[in-house]
């Protein structure tokens, strides 16, 4: 019967509607307990983490509170990625140990009709659950305060309270993965330019009550206006490595049939290996570029060449060598970034 119990536990994702702040707004909470939480980060009701929602290009600002330096920076909240493991500080943003949380501003660039706001977190203990208030604003009210500090009531300076979220279970262990989806199926959440997350720690019994937030997604009601095409279709994607220290642009706009392959094979390889290559090739006066691009060209002959921070690859050669040599070009080594002596920046 142990198997059955485990199965029941695994499938007992917590689900309820309610906790509405404004009429019609629903907050759905999914909880995958430690026993069933995996790197797949899948929930029963809450959508999976998105990498091309309206938050992907939003600007995030720490309004109040102190970031825990053991964690990732704010970029982790909209990089479209969830942690692969239950206790992976670098892949989450969290407020400093012993503090009461803080406030994060999300600037969407312009006012959009928001369909849904989804938030994700994962930790094996009390840093798993989410406790926050979500406010929205179009930024147009008289006396609008874009960055109200802790203690300033956002509702008194141009903000509207959208939802109060508290996913702490009444009974049982708090650890695991949480997905929260705030939406109004009838009329949407409203038209907002800014969102403000007022985040609280989940407990103050010890110093470790600040939630490991993994991602924030904002879903546009009219996605054609603002959302990007998925990286697999766009022809150009930028890969961040070493926590955003390095940015690698992979351009397949001339060779769209290679886009999916580049996304699946080249992007992860570049992300993993470029920081290692930089470390393996130290030297005085050397400064490895932080940004470079890899282009796959339609009419180029040969295999690949490098100029400055641009690597040019012959689409035709790679098309015929997709598995095996294509990924590393080991013989002539041309498909590596130019790391050459130069003035240190």
- Cα gap 220→228, rounded to integer Å: 11
Among 14-22, 69-77, 133-141, 166-174, the segment contacting Ca ion (CB under 5 A): 69-77
Residues 9, 33: contact at Cβ < 8 Å? yes
Among 59-67, 78-86, 93-101, 335-343, the segment contacting Ca ion (CB under 5 A): 78-86
Please list every residue from 4 through 43 that binds Ca ion, using CB under 5 A: none
Q: Which of 30, 68, 215, 251 binds Ca ion (CB under 5 A)?
A: 215
- Cα gap 238→267, rounded to integer Å: 8
Sign of CA dihedral 130, 165, 145, 98: negative
Q: Which CB sits closer to Ca ion, 181 or 306?
A: 181
Size of site (CB under 5 A) for Ca ion: 4
| β-bridge pairing 291-297 and 310-314 | parallel
Q: Which of 26, 81, 168, 271 binds Ca ion (CB under 5 A)?
A: 81
Q: Does 79 bind Ca ion (CB under 5 A)?
A: yes
Helix (H) or strand (E) holding 317: helix 315-319
Among 6-14, 178-186, 214-222, 223-231, the segment contacting Ca ion (CB under 5 A): 214-222
CB closest to Ca ion, residue no: 215
Sign of CA dihedral 25, 109, 51, 148: negative
Q: Which CB sits closer to Ca ion, 90 or 322?
A: 90
Q: Report the b/e string of 138-159 with b at 16+ CB within 10 A.
A: beeeeeebbebeeeeebeebbb
- Cα gap 94→261, rounded to integer Å: 34
Q: How far is the CB of 93 from Ca ion (least distance, A)?
A: 8
Closest CA relative to residue 120, chosen from 20, 197, 220, 233:
197
Q: Does 53 bind Ca ion (CB under 5 A)?
A: no
Q: Which CB sits closer to Ca ion, 36 or 56?
A: 56
Q: Report the b/e string of 210-248 with b at 16+ CB within 10 A.
A: bbbbbbbbbbbbeeeebbeeebeebbebebebeeeebeb
Binding mask 165-204 for Ca ion (x = CB under 5 A): ----------------------------------------
Among 16-24, 29-37, 81-89, 137-145, the segment contacting Ca ion (CB under 5 A): 81-89
Q: Which CB sits closer to Ca ion, 214 or 255?
A: 214
Q: Does 217 bind Ca ion (CB under 5 A)?
A: no
- Cα gap 257→249, rounded to integer Å: 17
Q: Which CB sits closer to Ca ion, 81 or 271?
A: 81
Q: Which CB sits closer to Ca ion, 76 or 312?
A: 76
Residues near Ca ion (CB under 5 A): 76, 79, 81, 215
């Amino acid at each position: 019967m142990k198997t059955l119990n485990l199965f029941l536990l695994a499938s007992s994702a917590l689900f309820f509607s309610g906790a509405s702040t404004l009429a019609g707004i629903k907050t759905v909470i999914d909880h995958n307990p430690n026993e069933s939480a995996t790197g797949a980060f899948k929930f029963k009701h809450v959508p999976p983490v998105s990498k091309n929602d309206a938050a992907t290009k939003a600007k995030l600002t720490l309004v109040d509170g102190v970031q825990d330096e053991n964690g990732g920076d704010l970029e982790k909240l909209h990089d479209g990625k969830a942690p692969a493991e239950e206790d992976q500080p670098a892949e989450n943003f969290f407020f400093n140990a012993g503090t009461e949380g803080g406030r994060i501003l999300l600037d969407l660039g312009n006012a959009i009709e928001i369909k849904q706001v989804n938030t994700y977190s994962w930790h094996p203990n009390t840093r798993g659950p989410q406790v926050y208030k979500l406010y929205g604003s179009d930024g147009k009210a008289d006396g609008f305060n874009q960055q109200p500090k802790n203690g300033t009531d956002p509702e008194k300076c141009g903000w509207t309270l959208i939802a109060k979220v508290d996913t702490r279970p009444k009974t049982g262990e708090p650890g695991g993965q949480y997905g929260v989806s705030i939406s109004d199926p009838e009329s949407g959440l409203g038209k907002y330019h800014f969102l403000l997350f007022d985040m609280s720690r989940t407990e103050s019994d010890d110093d470790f009550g600040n939630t490991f937030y993994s991602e924030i997604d904002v879903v546009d009601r009219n996605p054609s206006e603002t959302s990007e095409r998925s990286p697999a279709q766009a022809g150009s994607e930028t890969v961040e490595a070493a926590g955003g220290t390095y940015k690698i642009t992979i351009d397949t706009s001339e060779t769209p049939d290679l886009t999916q392959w580049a996304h699946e094979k080249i992007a992860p390889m570049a992300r993993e290996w470029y920081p290692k290559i930089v470390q393996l090739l130290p030297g005085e006066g050397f400064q490895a570029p932080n940004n470079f691009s890899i282009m796959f060209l339609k009419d180029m002959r040969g295999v690949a060449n490098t100029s400055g921070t641009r690597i040019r690859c012959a689409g035709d050669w790679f098309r015929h060598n997709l598995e095996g040599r294509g990924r590393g070009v080991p013989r002539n080594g041309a498909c590596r970034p130019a790391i050459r002596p130069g003035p240190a920046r």
